[in-house]
Amino acid sequence: SSQDFLIDLDWFMGVCRVVKGISQARIGAIGARITPFKTVRFSERLLEDAGISVETTDLSEVIMAVEKSKDSDKEVQNKLKALTSYYPTGKVPNSSVLKMAKLAVVLNRWIRENELDACALRCWPELQNSLGIFPCAVMSMMSNSLLPCACETDVMGAIAMYVLQLASTLPAGLFDWNNNYGTDPDKLILFHCSNLPKTMLNTCHMEYNAIDARARGTDENSYGTCVGRVKSGPMTFARICTDEIEGTITACIGEGEFTDDTLKTFGASGVVKINRLQELLQFLCRKGFEHHVAVSQSLVGKILFETMHNYLNWDVVSNH
């Protein structure tokens, strides 16, 4: 039928977007990896072989540029207006929001100059120690405008976000695999502190990072995170990693759904239901997949599998 044809055409267009986009992707790495996070290591050589280039800059360059920025700069003032209209900022000091605006201007300038498709940022602890802010809201705005920005210098997480975005044409977010939820073996919590795009959240506002504030004993240098509950509905997840030992790029993908189960916590989070979840978690652990997972609020698992397995020749495991 004509409806079946349109469904097939939409699927094929998704495959084309992913193949074309990822085979010439440019990813930015802003700062070194978070020191204890060995799980975000990756191979630039393997990515280059897949057509993906990685452009880098030192975090000190970003910090110095922010510190030199003037409050009255037109770009800064425009970004300040964009930030305050993007998220409610009533709980955040004005001085902190202004620094976020300066950071956004500096990052966006570097991204434009390098023609990047996605980026990953070292979001702690230097930005808090030097600028007194978290960059999460700035990163959220980027992802929401279809420029995926992964936290904790997770370049492979940024690539997974970009792939999901290409497949679905929707913003993607990056989460931690977290705790099981209740007694249902197929439910767990996806969480981050967070930099999720606001289109993924029911209600949201800007606040301080509760983990960092607890460690410091004050919230003074911890403002900038996005707090809210993930909307219920379908989801596709993806984790991509480079295996230098075998010389391959591997991926784990699948589909599930965000539920509306009750959940009280900080940051941004949601309860997700995935069939045969316990088998999936065991597989992730045994195969050494990292603790971050990229998520799109769409069902594009078949597009990802077709693209990664048949066109990119990556090693793919799927549950859809």
**Cα atoms in the Cβ-side hemisphere of radius 13 Å centred on 238:** 34
Q: Residue 53 burial (CB < 10 Å; 0-12/13-18/19+)? A: middle
Block mean pLDDT (10 aa), the chain, length 320: 90 98 98 92 97 98 98 98 95 97 99 99 97 98 99 98 99 97 97 96 94 93 96 99 95 98 94 97 94 98 98 91
From the list 194, 93, 72, 71, the residue with the least C-alpha distance to 136 is: 194
User: Cis peptide leading into 36, omega within 30 of 0?
Assistant: no
From the list 133, 138, 131, the residue with the least C-alpha distance to 86 is: 138
| φ and ψ at residue 135, rounded to 5 degrees | -90, 10
On whether the CB atoms of residues 70 and 76 are closer than 8 A, the answer is: yes
The span from the first CA to the last CA of the chain, in angstroms, equals 25
On whether the CB atoms of residues 225 and 206 are closer than 8 A, the answer is: yes
Q: Residue 39 burial (CB < 10 Å; 0-12/13-18/19+)? A: middle
Q: Cα-Cα-Cα-Cα dihedral of 185, 187, 190, 196, to 10°?
A: 160
DSSP structure class, residue 199: G
How far apart, in whole angstroms, are the C-alpha atoms of residue 9 and residue 16? 10
pLDDT of residue 69: 98
Classified as helix, coil or strand, 299 is coil
On whether the CB atoms of residues 165 and 159 are closer than 8 A, the answer is: no
pLDDT of residue 320: 62
- Domains of the chain (ranges; CATH) run 2-318 (3.40.275.10)
